[in-house]
Amino acid sequence: MLFNSVEFLLFFIGIGFVYFAIPARFRWMLLLFGSYVFYMSWEPSYAALLGLITVVNYYLAIRLGRSITVRGKKTILALTVTINAGLLFSLKYLGFFAESLRTVFHHHGVAAAIPVFSIALPVGISFYTFKIMSYTIDVYRGKLEPERNIGLFALYVAFFPQLIAGPIDRSTRLLPQFREEQMFDYRRVSDGLKLILWGFFQKMVIAGTLTIMVDLVYSKPGQYDAPTLALATLFFAFQIYCDFSGYSDIAIGIAQVFGYGSINNFERPYFSRSIPEFWRRWHISLSTWFRDYLYIPLGGSRISIPRWHVNIMIVFLVSGLWHGANWTFVVWGAIHGCYYILSVLTKSAREKTVATLGLVRLPRLHQGIQMAITFCLVTFTWIFFRANTISDAFYIVSKLFTGWGSASETAGTNTLASFVSSHFFEFCVAIVSITVMGMVHTLQVRGNVRNMLRSKPIWLRWAAYYAIVAAILLLSNFGSKQFIYFQF
Amino acid sequence: MKKFVTKSILFAAPFVVLALVEIFALPLDFFTFRVWESVKVDTLKNILPGYFYPRISITKTEQGDITHHTVYALEKTVEWHTDQFGYRNRDDTRAPEIVIIGDSNTVGTGLTQSDTLSVALESRLGVRVYSFAPASLNVFLRDRQLTHDKPRVVIVATIERDVPSLRTLKPELTYPSVLERKFMELRSAIKGFRSLQGVAVPVDRLFKANMLHYYRASVRRAITMVFLHGEKIPPPKQNIPSMHFLFGDLAVQDVPPDQLERALTVVKSYNDLLKSMDIRFIFLPIPNKENIYHDLLPSKKKPVFLGQTIDAMRKKGIETIDLQSAFDEAYRRNGPVLYLPDDTHWSAEGVRIAAELLADAISGKKEGKISPKSR
């Protein structure tokens, strides 16, 4: 059941009406039941695995809470991390590493009988595994008591708006909310629905339209010239943002309708003025997870400089690998790690350059340049994220740096002009809708857009809502349903 | 809560009204350029009996599926009638002696009802011919209402490009158990309820949302035309014939031998099954437009796949109609009149030739002599 499907719409309306019709004490049960129905709609066997993981972690967290010795606590924590990470590794990475080993042995002429692993990856496993691990570590750290109500814990793990692709909400934030009595609140529900509508606009109009062009170019990069590859890469930067931010907005909006606040996953990341800032604004629930449960345990920044560099690289390489079992993601993470380290190392030199150029006196221009450079750096890394293979990625990079010149360079490839004219409708929709999104983001800098709308007359508000619905109905790509982050 | 429900209803009202107007006030074909899209079952395939809505009669001015909404479009008025089972036939109490299972060519896309293959064959043989299309032999076997009255002849017609991908027979349909047979009969009986069909058709139309798709297409066309061509549709380029192709040179690519082998195996299984049911089987592969008019393509390449298929089928003892030779001869003699110029499908003349060959084969006459083009 995809968010952008009629089945989900009916499911959501049904659950929503029953939720507010039944007594408050039964609502968590309805949500738990609904979450499992939602997950079973993908594949019933996934729900069995989810249930098993939930029960095991519930029990281990209880034992962790009861344990009074540090050693005992550490042992149980190690066991839970091993179980969860091991399960994720075996389902997601075993095949990848076995294949990589086979390649290495083959390259060195060694005949090794490494088995082939081809396991279907349960949808959402990367997200709910991280959710469970954050809960267990928080219990270990004493940030919260282990949850005694297995139903509430199961709901925390399987909460359907966040189940498939996050946000990776923390137990310290979500579990207490499940215990509160959520009354129907008109403003909260209508705000949630507006957020859902905006999420659909981002996903279906912008990301859906961009998908057509990006997929075409990235499926056969050798058939296109450098400007077309550059355009496709630029479009992918917006596609992945709108796809995932759209999903997150829908998920957060749904949770808000039921009365639960979620962590915000995106904070206008393409307005970032540096790479560290980008990572404070992009996929916030994941980057803060890595910060709290990997970076800080590794020692954070309170260690020697070389060791800190190593820690940063570890975090970004793991982050890259988390996205998928492919070397393209590892390279993507590695580049971001290098960016991050370089941005810190070059800080004083950059400040001196700014002072020399007199950009301090022109803060707007300075900010604009910073944003443009950061955006270009991030967009460059998306090549590795999106390319089907590492060789495709390197081909695109080489083409972007060398393929802008002579006619011989572009011979036999589709030019930008022919590409745009053959996808003129999609191109127009993309440009206009990205501009609209940019305007909304600019307004968001000044404050909450929904609050701004509230102060406007009803005809204007409703006109805006109808315009978004009309755009979704008339301009979206109905063929593009799958969300990018579902594969992770 | 009351405020929320009231506002939600008010917000949704325009969309509900538009949907109701489309389904209950406007003609079925109001938002489509041809009948096919207006009568095709979209979502409720398991509730409605056939491929099309049952008991529909429409007269519409259509355009071809390749050049619709362009200066190349040729308008033609067609009549469509579907029977109680949702296939393009007039209701008839007589049991069909001949059933043609096929694709959109068998349906008669772009043709008026009287020019379709089943009608043309019926008028030649004087027995009831049933057009069971678009469908596969599996669907025919599943539909117990038709196989109850066992036909004498079953013709499987398919366009050349689909020969390699003909459906393999499903074992559960080929030799069903008593329980499976009962279930299929019950399913067919339920699908036959007129009151159920009366509810299902509007619901299916609601899901199909033809109005929405019409406006989506209109917006796309408007943007493309206005910005790319300055509100003018580009004039036809010089030296381009008025004949249009959907696949062009892609349709005349060589077909790997394993695909021919697969097709042989599948058609042989059709033949053997129907023989075991005491039904005569005839295979009718219809040449691609690009095959017969290959000289109008840039490559000018004549494909050989269909010729090889016909020979191989006949060697295997499968009764196969050689439409390729007949069409080649007719094209040489009368020019490009076998296919609709602005459409992927055959013309009334193409149908007439196929019907003559089939009638001769069924009635035992020697195949291969085609009468001069009807005027």
Torsion angle, alpha carbons of B4, A264, A438, A430, to 10: -80
Q: Strand pairing partners for B153?
A: B98, B280
d(C-alpha B13, C-alpha B11), whole Å: 6
d(C-alpha B151, C-alpha A290), whole Å: 70
**Alpha carbon distance, N-terminus to C-terminus of chain A:** 17
According to the model, what pLDDT value does residue B188 have?
A: 81
User: Poorest-confidence range of A38-42, A112-116, B228-232?
Assistant: B228-232
Q: Which of B216, B225, B229 to mutate to test the interface with A (most CBs of A within 10 A)?
A: B216
What average pLDDT does range A338-350 have in this prediction? 93
Q: Strand pairing partners for B101?
A: B132, B156
HEC profile for chain A?
Answer: CCCCCHHHHHHHHHHHHHHHHCCHHHHHHHHHHHHHHHHHCCCHHHHHHHHHHHHHHHHHHHHHHHCCCHHHHHHHHHHHHHHHHHHHHHHHCHHHHHHHHHHHHHHCCCCCCCCCCCCCCCCCHHHHHHHHHHHHHHHHCCCCCCCCCHHHHHHHHHCHHHHCCCCCCCHHHHHHHHHCCCCCCHHHHHHHHHHHHHHHHHHHHHHHHHHHHHHHHHHCHHHECHHHHHHHHHHHHHHHHHHHHHHHHHHHHHHHHHCCCCCCCCCCHHHCCCHHHHHHHCCHHHHHHHHHHHHCCCCCCCCCHHHHHHHHHHHHHHHHHHHCCCHHHHHHHHHHHHHHHHHHHCHHHHHHHHHHHCHHHCHHHHHHHHHHHHHHHHHHHHHHHHCCCHHHHHHHHHHHHHCCCCHHHHCCCECHHHHHHHCHHHHHHHHHHHHHHHHHHHHHHHCCHHHHHHCCCHHHHHHHHHHHHHHHHHHCCCCCCCCHHHHC
Nearest chain B residue to A474 by CA: give it. Answer: B216
Residue A279 corresponds to which amino acid? W
Long-range contacts of range B73-76, CB-CB < 8 Å, 24 or more positions apart?
Answer: B73/B342, B74/B340, B74/B341, B74/B342, B76/B110, B76/B112
Catalytic, A441? Answer: no
According to the model, what pLDDT value does residue B371 have?
A: 47
Q: B251 near B69, Cβ under 8 Å?
A: no
- Chain A residues inside the 8 Å CB shell of B4: 184, 186, 189-190
Closest-CA distance, A81 to chain B, in angstroms, reads: 44
d(C-alpha A451, C-alpha A474), whole Å: 27
Among B17, B28, B79, CA closest to B208: B28
The encoded tokens of residue B43 equal: 């979502």
Q: Which of A197, A204, A424, A431 to mutate to test the interface with B (most CBs of B within 10 A)?
A: A424
Residues in chain A: 488
Q: B138 near B173, Cβ under 8 Å?
A: yes
d(C-alpha A241, C-alpha A270), whole Å: 9
Nearest chain A residue to B8 by CA: give it. Answer: A190
Write out residues 276-315 of B within 8 Å (CB-CB) of A: none
- Chain B residues inside the 8 Å CB shell of A461: none
Closest-CA distance, A404 to chain B, in angstroms, reads: 25
> A478 versus B264: which is more confidently predicted?
B264
For chain A, what is the largest distance between any 2 Cα atoms, rounded to a whole number of angstroms? 74
What is the pairing mode between strands B98-101 and B76-81? unpaired
Asked whether the predicted pLDDT for residue A229 surpasses 50, the reply is: yes
Looking at the complex, does the CB of residue B213 fall below 8 Å from at least one CB of chain A?
A: no
| Number of A–B residue contacts, CB under 8 Å | 33
Nearest chain B residue to A477 by CA: give it. Answer: B216
Cβ–Cβ below 8 Å for B219 and A428: no
CA geometry: angle at A45 spanning A39 and A49, to 5°? Answer: 85
Write out residues 179-208 of B within 8 Å (CB-CB) of A: 207
The encoded tokens of residue B126 equal: 């004087």
The encoded tokens of residue B119 equal: 């009608």
Tell me the pLDDT band of A302, cut-offs 50, 70 and 90. confident
Residue B64: strand, helix, or coil: coil
User: Poorest-confidence range of A353-357, A404-408, B149-153?
Assistant: A404-408
- Chain B residues inside the 8 Å CB shell of A475: 216, 219
According to the model, what pLDDT value does residue A411 have?
A: 58
Among B227, B214, B196, B186, CA closest to B86: B196
The encoded tokens of residue A88 equal: 């994720």
- What is the residue-averaged pLDDT of chain A? 90
Asked whether the predicted pLDDT for residue A484 surpasses 80, the reply is: no
Tokens 């001769």, located at residue: B360
Residue in A309, A323, A366, A441 annotated catalytic: A323
Long-range contacts of range B213-222, CB-CB < 8 Å, 24 or more positions apart?
Answer: B213/B31, B214/B31, B214/B32, B215/A474, B216/A473, B216/A474, B216/A475, B219/A474, B219/A475, B220/A425, B221/B69
According to the model, what pLDDT value does residue B370 have?
A: 46
Nearest chain A residue to B14 by CA: give it. Answer: A466
d(C-alpha A136, C-alpha A64), whole Å: 8
What average pLDDT does range A316-336 have in this prediction? 92
- Chain A residues inside the 8 Å CB shell of B3: 186
pTM of the model: 0.86
Q: Would you write out chain B's pLDDT as a tens digit for each of its 375 residues? A: 889 999 999 999 999 999 999 999 999 999 999 999 999 999 999 899 999 999 999 999 999 999 888 878 889 999 999 999 999 999 888 889 999 999 999 999 999 999 999 999 999 999 999 999 999 999 988 875 555 678 999 999 999 999 999 999 987 777 777 887 788 788 888 888 888 999 999 999 999 999 999 999 999 988 887 776 665 555 555 444 478 898 888 888 888 989 999 999 999 999 999 999 899 999 999 999 999 999 999 899 999 999 999 999 999 999 999 999 999 999 999 999 999 999 999 999 999 999 999 999 999 875 544 444 433
According to the model, what pLDDT value does residue B231 have?
A: 54
Closest-CA distance, A22 to chain B, in angstroms, reads: 14
Report the half-sphere exposure of B52 (CA within 13 A, side-chain side): 28
**Main-chain phi, psi angles of B32, to 5 degrees:** -120, 155
